[in-house]
Structure 1
């Protein structure tokens, strides 16, 4: 399986990860179908943001509300692993809903994309597109 990501979103994810260091960055991935065209950086409201992430609930509510009114669909979530690899951690595996959403994970300068399914995470091929 593959996912398309605009070059602007790809660069924004990298920028957010580097600027949040040493805390985990997080946010929402929006778009349509298999194309991520928008990134909304959110506050990490977890009590220990150096090792965990929790997307600001109000940002999530606002994105759902916007989607219901014709805005882009929430395709998934993003977070960084400031001290780890761009792979799902044991915590990610434990917390994933298995709902088919995309997870983008940044770690050590690398950015990878996965789909959360009933059997865990499936790595996605990345295609960076203009737009």
Structure 2
């Protein structure tokens, strides 16, 4: 399975992560299961943002309300691993909603990788790798 993303959107995500090298950043992904069409940076409201992330619940609920009203479809989120690799951690797996399958993009420096999160998976029992196709 693959998901496409415009190069400008990918640069936006990498730039967001680079702007906070000592803490995890996060944001929302909108589109279809096959294509990311928009991204939105959000606040990381976790009590320990140097090691964990939590998308601002107000922005998350606003995105879900917008989707129900006919707006862009929320397909997942992104976050950074400032001192790690672009792959899910055990803490990421513990945070997965096992009911809703979502796309996760993980940024580590210039590396970005995509994963489907859900009730099962090859990585930490919750994630499967997804090919990321960058389009101009």
Q: TM-score, normalised by structure 2?
A: 0.91
The C-alpha deviation readout for 1:56-105, integer Å capped at 9, x for no partner, is 11111111121112211000011000000000001001111232200000
Equivalent residue pairs, number? 130
Equivalent pair of 1:32/1:72 in contact (CA under 8 Å): no
2:96 maps to what in 1?
96
Aligned partner of residue 97 in structure 2, secondary structure: coil
After superposition, the CA RMSD in angstroms is: 1.1
Name the residue aligned to 1:69: 69
Check whether the contact 2:18–2:109 (CA below 8 A) recurs between aligned residues: no
CA contact (8 A) 2:14 2:109 kept: no
The residue that corresponds to 2:123 in the other structure is none
Any unmatched runs of 5+ in structure 2? 121-125
How far off is 1:52 after superposition?
0.5
TM-score by length of 1: 0.94
2:107 counterpart residue number: 106
Find runs of 4+ consecutive structure 1 residues off by over 6 angstroms: none
Residue 129 of structure 2 is matched in structure 1 by: 123
Q: Please name the residue that 2:78 is paired with.
A: 78
Which runs of 5 or more residues in structure 1 are unaligned?
Answer: none
Partner residue, 2:39: 39
SS of alignment partner, residue 19 of structure 2 = helix
Which deviates further from its counterpart, 96-105 or 21-30? 96-105
For 1:70 and 1:11, the matched residues in 2 are separated by 27
